[in-house]
């Protein structure tokens, strides 16, 4: 019988038969069972490490000192290493910066920072600075750096090799709220009101074990569920509040307008309150990709487990117009940020008008900078 393997994994057998377990415990007369099943990985970083890394974290509902100051709000993009010579993502990142910094209809009152992966060409960094972006250099985080040795992840393209680098947004604690955007977002209308999304102050009474997703641990026959082990994080649950991870519902091609609420969010645009403690928790979860779909959707799979609607830290749903994925003709008038590879003119995944919009927007950007002074 498979009960507790590690504090993080709760087996479905246990969940199905709590009553049976009680009877079983009485019969077995305790003791040995706990020794066997409340097993912790001896290599786990314990509280001392966490405390020294994070200092004394004063957020939490009992202190309520978390600052929420608009002068500490920012948009943030990520520029990764190119996977080909014609780095179209660099162009797309420039367009994102232009739309947020300059374009009359879409420009924001908040600054734009770009997390630039170490190793990106200097001329690209210089160009983004000229475009008005502020640069934050970040280390590359390879998927293998976070995942426990020997555990596999879904094979993705090169482009995804460093996608966990996006998690360094949680390290940028000089900001109170960060709207992190993928480069393939075309800003169509001003989205500054996203920053009004409040923090989550209160914890659910308990995770909903009926609803939390199931997974199969390698070598196991019974399905398990993820459960937070706050001892292994070295922090009490209360210290994780308030927090903020807000995003739009993920959806499928041909969805209705507005889309139906979904179990999962799309990680292409998120509003987060950076927190080293939350990052620590995310990294602990990241070690076991079998819990999050073998990272099939990379950081999106991971974050959808960490901020699952039925766990201790549910994500906050924001309007679908902030992140238009699988846009339909009917969605179009509402979409404030359109998500897709609109530079691919024969791509059938979105209304063709968006390819035209992207080209026009890119042309406007080039015209703007030419006019500005020949750079």
Residues that bind ligand NAG (CB under 6 A): 61, 64, 86, 88, 91, 201, 366
Q: Would you call 317 helix, strand, or coil by DSSP?
A: strand
| Radius of gyration for the chain, computed over Cα atoms and rounded to the nearest angstrom | 22
CB of 91 to ligand NAG, least distance (A): 4
Please state the closest distance from residue 241 (CB atom) to ligand NAG, in A.
9
Q: Please report how close the Cβ of residue 61 comes to ligand NAG at its closest, in angstroms.
A: 4
Q: Give the CA-trace dihedral at 253, 254, 257, 263, to 10 degrees.
A: -50
Which residue, 64 or 174, has its beta carbon nearer to ligand NAG?
64
Cα 53 to Cα 49: distance, rounded to the nearest angstrom: 6
Q: Nearest residue by C-beta to ligand NAG?
A: 86
The residue (of 264 and 316) whose beta carbon lies closer to ligand NAG is 316
Residue with smaller CB distance to ligand NAG, 56 or 84: 84
Beta strands 316-318; 9-11: pairing state: unpaired
Name the residue nearer to ligand NAG (CB basis): 152 or 366.
366
Q: How far is the CB of 73 from ligand NAG (least distance, A)?
A: 16
Residues, the chain: 375
* Bridge partners, residue 214, by sequence: 225
Residue 201 CB, shortest distance to ligand NAG, in Å, is 5
User: Whole-number minimum distance, CB 162 to ligand NAG, in Å?
Assistant: 19
**CB of 189 closer than 8 Å to CB of 285:** no
Q: How far is the CB of 345 from ligand NAG (least distance, A)?
A: 11
Asked if residues 185 and 338 have their Cβ atoms less than 8 Å apart, the reply is: yes
Neighbours of 37 (CB within 10 A): 16
Q: What share of the chain is helix, strand, coil (3-state, %, to 5)?
A: 35, 15, 45
Q: Which is nearer to ligand NAG, 95 or 284 (CB)?
A: 95
> Nearer Cβ to ligand NAG, position 91 or 101?
91
Residue 45 or 82 having the CB closest to ligand NAG = 82
Q: Which residues of 102-127 are buried (b: 16+ CB within 10 A; e: fewer)?
A: bbeebbbebbbbbbbbeebeeebbeb
């Amino acid at each position: 019988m498979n009960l507790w393997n590690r504090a993080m994994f709760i087996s479905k057998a246990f969940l199905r038969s709590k009553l049976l377990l009680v009877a079983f415990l009485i019969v077995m007369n305790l003791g040995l069972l706990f020794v066997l099943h409340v097993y912790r990985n001896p290599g786990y970083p314990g509280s001392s490490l966490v405390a020294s890394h994070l200092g004394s974290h004063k957020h939490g509902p009992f202190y309520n000192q978390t600052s929420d100051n608009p002068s500490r709000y920012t948009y943030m993009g990520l520029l990764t290493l190119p996977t080909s010579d014609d780095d179209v993502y660099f162009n797309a990142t420039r367009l994102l910066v232009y739309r947020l910094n300059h374009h009359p209809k879409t420009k924001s009152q908040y600054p734009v920072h770009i997390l630039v992966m170490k190793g990106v060409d200097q001329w690209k960094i210089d160009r983004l600075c000229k475009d008005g972006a502020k640069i934050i250099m970040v280390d590359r985080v390879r998927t293998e750096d976070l995942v426990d040795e020997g555990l596999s992840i879904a094979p993705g393209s090169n482009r995804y090799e460093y996608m966990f680098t996006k998690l360094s947004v949680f390290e940028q604690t000089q900001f109170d709220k960060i709207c992190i955007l993928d480069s393939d977002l075309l800003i169509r209308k001003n989205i500054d009101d996203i920053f009004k999304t409040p923090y989550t102050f209160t914890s659910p009474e308990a995770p909903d074990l009926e609803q939390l997703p199931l997974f199969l641990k390698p070598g196991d026959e019974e399905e398990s569920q993820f459960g937070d082990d706050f001892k292994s994080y070295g922090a009490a649950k209360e210290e994780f509040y308030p927090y903020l991870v807000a995003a739009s519902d993920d959806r499928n091609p041909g969805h209705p307008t507005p889309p139906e609420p979904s179990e999962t969010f799309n990680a292409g645009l998120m509003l987060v309150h950076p927190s080293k403690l939350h990052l620590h928790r995310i990294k602990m979860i990241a070690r076991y990709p079998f819990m999050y779909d073998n990272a099939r959707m990379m950081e999106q799979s991971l974050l959808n487990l960490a901020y699952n609607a039925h766990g201790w830290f549910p994500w906050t749903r924001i309007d679908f117009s902030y992140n238009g994925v699988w846009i339909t003709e009917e969605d179009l008038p509402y979409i404030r940020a359109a998500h897709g590879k609109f530079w691919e003119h024969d791509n059938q995944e979105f209304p063709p008008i968006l390819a035209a919009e992207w080209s026009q927007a890119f042309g406007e950007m080039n015209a703007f900078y030419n006019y500005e002074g020949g750079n």
